[in-house]
Structure 1
């Protein structure tokens, strides 16, 4: 199983640059890049809440569950 972070998709839909979003939610551009590139091991709820607030979306718009191929019947 894996969780994909579709942050780049939401940012494109909202026409917001990474640097602007990082400033608005109070994290470093480097940490936002880690999220955007699916390198994060965890996401704080406070960060997820700030992302949803600034992007006017729901957590499910950003996070996507992908089952392993061997798990599907």
Structure 2
């Protein structure tokens, strides 16, 4: 079974910017904490990611003390 294609760009929105601001943390600092490159986190932050590893998702949520649903939200038309 092939993965479902999104209806359009931006259907899933990453709230990384908002969570970083709430924790007074930079993307560089988050990168250091979770062990993921700034470039990869930037792709996620700018809603350009096509996939994310569960281990990365877990590490980001732990570092920002949030739930997955607080980090990734579904935009509805």
Root-mean-square deviation (CA, aligned residues, Å) is 0.9
Consecutive unaligned residues of structure 2, counting only runs of 5 or more, are 1-6
Scaled by the length of structure 2, the TM-score of the pair is 0.83
Q: 1:52-63 maps to which residues of 2 (within 5 A)? A: 52-63=61-72
CA distance in 1: counterparts of 2:18 and 2:63, whole angstroms: 14
Q: Match of 1:4, SS?
A: strand
Say which structure, 1 or 2, has more relative contact order (CA 8 Å, 6+ apart): 1
Moved over 3 A (4+): none
Scaled by the length of structure 1, the TM-score of the pair is 0.88
Consecutive unaligned residues of structure 1, counting only runs of 5 or more, are none
Q: Return the structure number with greater helix share.
A: 1
